[in-house]
Structures are given as C-alpha cells and as structure tokens.
Amino acid sequence: MNELNWIIAFSVVGLTPMAWLLPGRWQLPTVSVLTAGFMLVASPLSALSLLLTASLSYGLFRLKSLTPAWRVVLSISQSVLVWIIFKSEWPMHQGWQTTVGVPLGLSYYTFRQIHYAIERYKQTLPVHDFADYLTYLFFLPTLLIGPINRFPDFYRDSRRRRWDAVLFSTGLERILYGYAKIVLIGNMLLTNKLAHIIYTLQPNHPSLASYLSLIRFATNAYIQFAGFSDVAIGLSLLIGIRVPENFESPFLASNLNEFWKRYHISLSSWCRDYVFTPLLSLTRQPVLATLGAMLVLGLWHEWSSQYLVWGALQGLGVLIWHRFKRPSGEAKTAQPAWHSNVMHGLGVLITFHYFCLTCLVIQKNNWQAVGQTLTQLFAR
Amino acid sequence: MPNPSPVRKPVHANRQSVFAAPPLWVWGLTGLGVLLGFGLLFSMAVRSEKALSQQFTTDAETVLRREWRMRSDSVTRVVVLGTSLVENGVADTDFFEGRCGKRIRVIKLYREAVNIDAFTETAPIFKLLERYPPDILCIEENLLLFRLPYFLSPGQAENVFDAVNRHLTIQVKSLKIQLGLRPPDPERVLFQGFPREQHVQNQVDTTALSTTLAEIRHRQVRTPAELPALYRSLQQLHQSGTRLILLHLPRPAVLESVIYGEGRDPLLRDLIKQYHRLYHLEHWQFDRPMPFRYFVDQAHLNHIGNPIYSGWLADKICPVATLPQR
Amino acid sequence: MYQFLQKYVGSKTAGILTAFWYLLLLFLIFYYYFLPSGQFRYADW
C-alpha cells in the first residue's frame, strides 16, 4: 500500500469514528493529534517540518517587538524558505530528496500558511487560538493532495459541524467515485489501454503516437488529480468539514482564462488573490500581474526551469486570449446561434490542445526530448 | 433566516436536493456485500491454488516418470527447477542438444512468483525427484539463498488483496476465453503457473526501479539449517548419483550489484560454501554483467538475453554430460 | 444514482440497486487496482 492508501484507510477507520464518538470539544483536536501521530510514524521529517513552520507562522505574529509588516514578511519567508529547500531542482540533482525525502503535502501547507499570514496581516481572520490554527493545518484528509482550503472557511465549518447522515453518505460516495476515476479511467483506460495503443502505433505512425501520448499525459494528470481531490473532499465530509471543489470540468472551458477558473481551482484562486490582485493594484499592469500569477502557479509544482516555462506558457495563453477576445460591450446577438456554438466548440478544442501542448514541457525530462517530440508532431 | 416558517428537518431537506447520496443503510448493505464477495473470492483463490498445485504435481510426475523409464537410452537428463527466471532464462531442450552435439534433455520445472515451499510443501516435487532422479539437477539459487516473499496460498501471502486479485485475473481470463471474448493463450511450455502476457509480448515494464530495489534490499539470507526436509532430499539425490547444481540466474547488472551488495556478499558466499560442503551443491555463477536491454523487465531475460545465458549454461552442462551411465 | 433510481422505483428498491452499483464499482476497482498504474506524482506535492 502506498502512503495515499494508508491515509485513506487511517482516515476512515481511525479519524472518522473519533470525530463523532468523542465528546464534542475533543473531536477535532483528536483528529489533529492522530494526524500528527500518523505523520510521525509515516515520515517524522514531515511532522517536524509542519510543526516548525506552523509554529513560526503563528508565533511571529505574537512578537510585540516587530511591526506588522515585518511579521508578515518573516512569516511568509520562513514558509517559502523551507519549501524552496525541498522543492528546488538543486537538491533533486544532488539526490538529496531520495535520502532525506520531501515532507508530505509541503506545497499545500506552504501556500496555506502564506494565505494565513496575509489574511492575518489584513486582520480579516476570525478570533482564534493556536490550537485552531494547528487543527486547520494538521488535517489528514487534505494534507497530502489538497485542496488548498482557506482558514476562515475551515474555522467556520469546524464550529458549525453537526452529525448529518446525508453529508456522511455523500462523503462515502465521493471517495468511491474518486477512486473509480483514478483506477478505472486513469489507470485502466488512460494508462493501460491507451498506452498499449500508443505503443503499437509508435513504429508506423510516430506523429499520431506522439500526439496521443501528449493527450494521454494531460488527461491522465487531470483525471488522477481530480480523483484524488474527490477522495480528499469525501474524507473531509466524513469528518463533517466541507472543503472547496478543486475542478469543474476544465476541459470544457472555451478559453484559457476560464480553464484556469475550473482547473485546480484552489491553487488558481490562491494565485489570483495573493499574486494577481496585489500585483495589479501595485503596478496597474494587467500583463505583469497575469504573468506573475501564472509563474507562481507553475513554480508551486516544483521550483524548476521546466515549471517556470510551463507557468509562463499558461500566462502567455491567457494574455493572447485577452488580446483577441471580443470586447465585452459588443452585442452578441449580431451572430446567428450556430455561429456562436461553432466558435465555442472551436474555443474548447483550441484551449484543450494548447494546455496539452504546454504540458509537454513537464512531461519530458529534458529540453532535448521536448524538441524531439515537437519535431515529431509538426515536422511531417 | 429567509424562511421563518417552521420546517421539519430544514437542513436535511435542503441538502437532499443538492446531494444525491443514499441513506446510510445502503452503505451497510454495500459493506456486507464486500465482506461476502471478498470471502467468496478468497475461498475460490485458495481452491484454485490447490488445483493448480495438484496439476503441477501430476504433470511433473508424468514427465519425470516417463524420463526415468527411458533412462537406459544414454541421454543425459537435466532438470532445471526454479521460478519464472528459469522460464525466461533457460532455452528449450533443442537448443542444448544443438549446442552440445550430444543427446541431452533439459526439463524445466518452474512456477512463477514462488519460493521453495512451492516445490516442497504445496507440491512434493522433491519427493518425485527422489523417486525418479535425473542425471543433473539445477536449482535456481534464489530459492535456497533467500527467504523470498512469494507465497502461493493467498492465506499466507503478505498482501492478501494482491494474491486474491492475481487469482481473480486468471479466472476472468479463462472465463473470457470460454466465452470466446479473447483468443486462447498460445501453448507455451508445459509448466505454467501464472500466465502474464507482458513477459511473452515483451512490453515495456512499468514497475519503478525503486520498487524492485526495495524488494531486493528487504530480502533475507537463509541459514544452512532451516530447510531440513529439503536437505534430506538433496542427500538422497546425491546418493542416487544425481549431480546437484546451485544455478545462478542473472538480473540486470545494476540490480545484481545490489543483490550481492556489500553487507550481504560475505553472507551469501559463506552460505554457498556451506551448501557445497554439507549437501554437495555445486555453484554455477554466471559472471557476465547484463544490461537492461537483455531483459523483458527488471528480472526476466528476453530473446537477446536468453541465448546468451543458455549458451553459457550449455557450455557448463555439455562436459558434464559425458558422465558414465547409471 | 440513488436519486435517479428513486424516480422510477421505491426507496427500498432504489437503495438495494444502489448498493449493487457500488459493489460493481468496488469490484472493478479491485480488479483493475493492481495493474501497473500511471499514478501521477501528486503525492509528492
């Protein structure tokens, strides 16, 4: 069993009963303690790293000697520093991560902590204590695979949660459907069957094979991630916490801007709130703000040149769409209905293919392989 | 509150329209079904495993007895006993006859993904060998050197789900063949435990190298005293004049260096020496480092690797095959 | 699924049919789970 299966099994068998059978005020703290215990057993480094960054990101705001601006800067810096240490290309090339390992769910909780620091600086958070903050961070269902939920929502739900059989049943169903997505669509259809087809096509139709492998990579990534998100949302529901949706049929989006409102929503909305909006209000440069947000979105996955380029390509796509989109004031009734339908369909197709093509950058291990695949795709 | 009029169970009723989930007793029923279904599959797997072992014993006995009855025909009879490594690594008997230019018969007795129990407990192959001893018996070294984590009976397996699933796959496959939904497997070789197509079709292996490495690092080395029944059989075979060989089957060089890794190599060397001293097992070690492209996956030799290895094995067997007749 | 079935049959029958649907899914997941999987590296993030 891999880590994920252990998390699911432990959440269902260990956490869920505790979350309802114990006396009310012990329920969620016990969930956190069990989460910490689980992490200590599975990966002590993860538990330590989360506890350290959580304590600092909370504790720095208690320091009376610092100005609020310094508190937020230091709090964010320490989270980002730990994240960069583990997520950059450098230690990967040193083979460091294979010996030490990467803390579980690092990217997710780093961004949660940054969100917390900024909102705390802006004084928008509800009154809470350190234990509430730890409960938010040490929450096993969303620890490993997100979504990057927000503290105020979590806090509100943790206060309001009541036993609800329908919600519980919905949670179970989400887990089952999520697993079905991962195993039946992701593993069976996209990985196994389609990979066989691509393998047999390779000798005689290399272009077609490259094209299908491109599509396969992006769709498989989506299906697996969406499936895992479903499982995480379902597990949270079992404990009575509602975490936000992470995907809304992104491949049906008719432009890249809309796509990123429907794909990995918790990350893209984070980038909108904490990169795009501040950059826009500081510089008044939408182009800069868009590029900045998409670069951060790319680098979140991994601090590497490949994800930097991938993020830049997403930003570029959004900017191109902005440049050519119909001005919002123009009357839409001027065109017949079939025309707008065709245009919409075309948009969906172009967006999907653009996204798949950009994923080539992260699919291949080096730039030479990217170049090879591109020539295979277009040079014939 | 937008609606101040009293509504019975407002939250519940409201959510019912949003979520389409069933009442909890449906999940209870599902859980019951899972328990019953898995229990059924488990017992089917145990039964089918018994049947397969029975079949294996019967087939082995038929072949060994037939060969034993023809023993006065001046053909050297070699039995190679092992796992799927033998299946993929050792060529068929014609190869050896052609290579040696002598009358020689190589009989491969193997079951996929097993440890030594498969030949001593689940199927009494060593008892059969005692009764119908060959001229040379080669035993895959993995079986005697390591406590391999492969168990045939799902009840013993480390991962019960995996074991049950493996049997389920075989059942579904044979059902599909019966219904005409897929062509029957090409007749490969006599002894077949778990057919896995990827070994035949030479496909890309998707197992991560790290998974294989972890399995290899976890392997425990045996001691020369833990298989008493087997040792008695070996002594018996030695007395009947069978030449006993502990046969090395290569893995890709990268893995080979981990199998015979720093901490383990002295232990293995010592064990091999002990086996030789106590039970007359000669060790035949294939010394050439093999690259990954000689393998189907990370363990099994392919159409390039097989002739190279079998050629070496033939060169070892041919001189021995001049032994005087019993 | 349950809600869909409820439109056509009674709650009890719908529940039993839903349980069978879940069992079918679980069986398929179990059957295909041990395939070599192309699991993405999300667990690393």
Residue A190, classed as helix, strand or coil, is helix
CA dist B46 and A311 (Å) reads 53
Residue type, C7: K
Name the band, by pLDDT with cuts 50, 70 and 90, for residue B78: very high
Are A184 and A155 in a shared domain? no
What is the pLDDT, as a whole number, of residue A248? 92
Please give the interface size between A and B, counted as residue pairs whose CB atoms are below 8 Å apart.
Answer: 30
Angle at C21 between CA C18 and CA C22, to 5 degrees: 90
What is the torsion angle, in degrees rounded to the nearest 10, for the CA atoms of residue A77, residue A78, residue A82 and residue A83? -40
Contact criterion met (CB below 8 Å) for A265 and A248: yes
Report yes or no: A151 and A42 within 8 Å, Cβ to Cβ: no
Q: Is the pLDDT of residue B7 over 60?
A: no
- Confidence class for position A186, pLDDT limits 50, 70, 90: confident
Catalytic residue among A93, A115, A205, A301: A301
Neighbours of A337 (CB within 10 A): 8
Give the pLDDT confidence score for residue B186 in this predicted structure.
52
Residue B79 pairs in a beta bridge with B107, B137
Task: Please list the residues that pair with B221 across neighbouring strands.
Answer: B146
Residue B75: predicted pLDDT = 87
Active site residue A93: no
pLDDT digits (tens, 9 = 90+) for B261-289: 878 888 899 999 999 999 999 999 998 99
Pairing of strands B76-82, B104-110: parallel
What are the backbone angles phi and psi of residue A341, rounded to the nearest 5°? -65, -45
The whole-number pLDDT of residue B148 equals: 81
What is the rounded average pLDDT of the residues B86-103? Answer: 86
Residue B321 has pLDDT above 80, yes or no: no
| Distance from C-alpha of B253 to C-alpha of A288, rounded to nearest angstrom | 52
Torsion-angle region of B156 (φ positive above 0: left; ψ -120 to 50: alpha; else: beta): alpha
Summarize pLDDT for B122-167 with one digit per residue, the tens.
Answer: 889 999 999 999 999 999 999 999 888 777 777 777 678 878 887 8
CATH number for the domain formed by residue range(s) B53-151+192-320: 3.40.50.1110
Which residue in B30, B161, B207 is closest to C36 by CB distance? B207
8 Å CB contact between B31 and A13: no
CA C43, CA C35: separation in Å to the nearest integer?
A: 19
Residue B34 has pLDDT above 90, yes or no: yes
Domain boundaries, chain C: 1-29
CA distance A263 to A188: 23
Closest CA to B221 of B118, B141, B137, B140: B141
**Mean of the pLDDT values across residues A148-164?**
93
C chain contacts of residue B25, beta-carbon cutoff 8 Å: 15
Which CA distances in Å does B185 have to B165, B170, B173, B178, C34?
20, 12, 10, 12, 21
Tokens coding A231: 């499982």
Q: Tell me the C-alpha distance between B62 and B65, whole Å.
A: 5
Give, as one character, the DSSP assignment of residue A327: P
Amino acid identity of B247?
Answer: L
Half-sphere exposure of B72 (CA within 13 A, CB side): 1
A293 and A317 in contact (C-beta within 8 Å)? Answer: no
Instruction: For residue B283, list its beta bridge partners.
Output: B246
Whether A244 maps to a domain, the answer reads no
Provide the phi-psi class of C11: left if phi over 0, else alpha when psi is between -120 and 50, else beta: alpha
Residue by residue, DSSP assigns A223-241 as: HHHHHHHHHHHHHHHHHT-
Contact C29 A180 (CB under 8 A): yes
Spatial neighbors of B204 by CB under 8 A, at least 6 apart, are A199
Inter-chain touch A176–C26, beta carbons under 8 Å: yes
With cut-offs at 50, 70 and 90, classify the pLDDT of residue B14.
very low
When divided into structural domains, chain A yields a total of 3
Q: Which of C16, C25, C28, C30 to mutate to test the interface with B (most CBs of B within 10 A)?
A: C30
Is residue A126 domain-shared with residue A143, that is, in the same domain?
yes
Q: What is the reported pLDDT for B1?
A: 37
Of the residues A160, A179, A207, the one at which a domain ends:
A160
- Cα separations in angstroms, A376 against A194, A217, A379, B114: 19, 17, 6, 44
Alpha carbon distance A247, A259 (integer Å) = 10
ipTM of the complex: 0.85
pLDDT at A366: 80
The two tokens of residue A74 are 């230091």
Q: What is the pLDDT of residues C3-23, one digit of tens each?
A: 888 888 888 999 999 999 999
Q: Which domain holds residue A62?
A: 3-160
Instruction: Write down the mean pLDDT value for chain A.
Output: 88
**Structure confidence at residue B8 (pLDDT):** 38
**DSSP string of C1-45?**
-HHHHHTTS-HHHHHHHHHHHHHHHHHHHHHHHTSPP---GGGG-
pLDDT for residue A227: 92
Average pLDDT over residues C28-32: 89
Query: pTM, whole model, 2 decimals?
Result: 0.80
Give the pLDDT band (50/70/90) at residue A27. Answer: very high
Highest-pLDDT range among A309-323, A335-349, B61-75, B86-100? A309-323
Higher pLDDT, A4 or A35: A35
- When mean pLDDT is compared over A61-70, A185-194, A288-297, the highest value belongs to A288-297
* Residue A245 falls inside a structural domain: no
Q: According to the model, what pLDDT value does residue A374 have?
A: 87
Residues A226 and A90 in one domain: no
Listed residue (B33, B51, B44) closest to B164, CA to CA:
B44
| Distance, C-alpha A247 to centroid of its chain | 10
Residue A9's identity, in one-letter code, is A
pLDDT in the model for residue A155:
95
Domain boundary among A142, A160, A178: A160
In chain A, which residues have their Cβ closer than 8 Å to the Cβ of B22? Answer: 169, 173
pLDDT at A206 over 90: no
If you count them, how many residues does chain C have? 45
Binary contact (A169, B22; C-beta < 8 A): yes
Domain boundary among A239, A258, A283: A239
With cut-offs at 50, 70 and 90, classify the pLDDT of residue B201.
very low
pLDDT digits (tens, 9 = 90+) for B286-315: 989 998 888 877 888 888 888 899 999 999
| Residue B18 clears pLDDT 50, i.e. is over it | no
Average of pLDDT values for A10-20?
92
**Residue A150 sits in the same domain as residue A25:** yes
The secondary structure of residue C41, as a DSSP letter, is G
SS3 state of residue B158:
coil
Residue A195, pLDDT score:
80
**Within a domain: residue A11?**
yes
The candidate with the shortest Cα–Cα distance to B116, out of B83, B84, B163, is: B83
Tokens of B36: 């019953």
Q: What is the predicted pLDDT for the residue at B93?
A: 86
Q: Which range, of A14-28, B179-193, B299-313, averages the lowest pLDDT? A: B179-193
Nearest to B12 among A166, A173, A196 (CB): A166
